[in-house]
Amino acid sequence: MVFNRPRIVRVLDFINESSTVRSLTFKDDLCSKAKPGQFMMVWIPGVDEIPMSISMMRDDLIGLTVRKVGEASNALFNMKVSSMIGIRGPYGNSFTPIIGKVMIIGAGTGLAPLMLLSEILANQSASIDMIIGGKTIDEFIFVNRAKELLSRTRSNMIITTEDGSYGIKGLATDVILPILKEKSIDMIYTCGPELMMKKVFEIAQEFNLPVQASLERVMKCGIGICGSCFIGKYRVCKDGPIFDSSKLKEVKDEFGLFKMDHSGKRVRLQ
């Protein structure tokens, strides 16, 4: 399949989202046809290949957003304009946008795939409640972009920080219940730390609300061969990364609890 073919692209520009997060842009015809929630495998020459969500599609530019957390992400973060990277994809399934009242809950770089989704929802949804969480004000990204998108429709944005340095002090999941008790919601979309998404799913279950969650696992191939991204019977790269409520129920014994590390060892999520 043509999207499996590795392509070399040139970094055209970058945006410093925070001191540890940067968005890089490039051009690629195949990724320009991606749907919100899909990912690509990004090869950093001489370092590694890692999965990355597509965070921006603007005209013919594609964007990815990386946080410095390890060798590969540090190398990608430090790429200069005109640096070359390899890409494959886009891979995986995507979010399914609905016409209705939606809630979007994200934290950290988990906001990356949600931003593409938000652009579609802002043009067709009746209303959007967006909750953005983080540990401290220094970790926030995409806030201004989100405000611009939400200005297109009836919306409400709530920001939470664990240390109280920005917005409401607390966790993103702390503000879900007051909203659900006050208004009807047709769909919840979420991406971020898995412990957060597990709590989102549990609250949604109490209100019998459907959820679409973007999961993250170790991915070495991106095409369902290596098996490093299994959760339950599903491969996140092939059967995800977007899991709806029915799939989340099937993997409830692992979702928010366990994953496999790079060696294939099953470890508990912290």
* Residues contacting residue 69 through CB under 8 Å, at least 6 positions apart: none
- The answer on 19 and 138 residing in a single domain is no
Neighbours of 164 (CB within 10 A): 12
Please report the pLDDT score of residue 151 as a whole number.
87
Number of domains in the chain: 2
Nearest residue to 87 (alpha-carbon basis) of 120, 38, 14: 38
Domain co-membership, 17 together with 117? no
**118 exposure class (CB count in 10 Å sphere: 0-12, 13-18, 19+):** buried
What per-residue confidence (pLDDT) applies to 1? 67
User: Considering only CA atoms, which of 158, 154, 150, 163 is closest in space to residue 176?
Assistant: 158
Q: Is 12 exposed, middle or buried (0-12, 13-18, 19+ CB in 10 A)?
A: middle
- What's the predicted TM-score (pTM) here? 0.95
CATH number of the domain that 158 lies in?
Answer: 3.40.50.80
Q: Which of 91, 109, 130 is the last residue of a domain?
A: 91
Tokens of 148: 């611009």
Q: Give the pLDDT score at 65.
A: 95
- 111-124 helix and 143-150 helix, angle to the nearest 10 degrees: 10
pLDDT of res. 25: 97
Q: What tokens were used for 217?
A: 């696992």
Q: Give the range of the structural domain holding residue 73, as residue numbers without chain letter.
A: 2-91
Strand partners, 61: 58
Per-residue pLDDT of the chain (270 residues; tens, 9 = 90+): 677 888 999 999 999 998 899 999 999 999 999 999 999 999 999 999 999 999 999 888 999 999 998 999 999 999 999 999 999 999 999 999 998 999 999 998 899 999 999 999 988 877 899 999 988 888 889 989 999 988 888 889 999 999 999 889 999 999 999 999 999 999 999 999 999 999 999 999 999 999 999 999 999 999 999 999 999 999 999 999 999 999 999 999 999 988 888 888 888 987
Residue 114 lies in a domain: yes
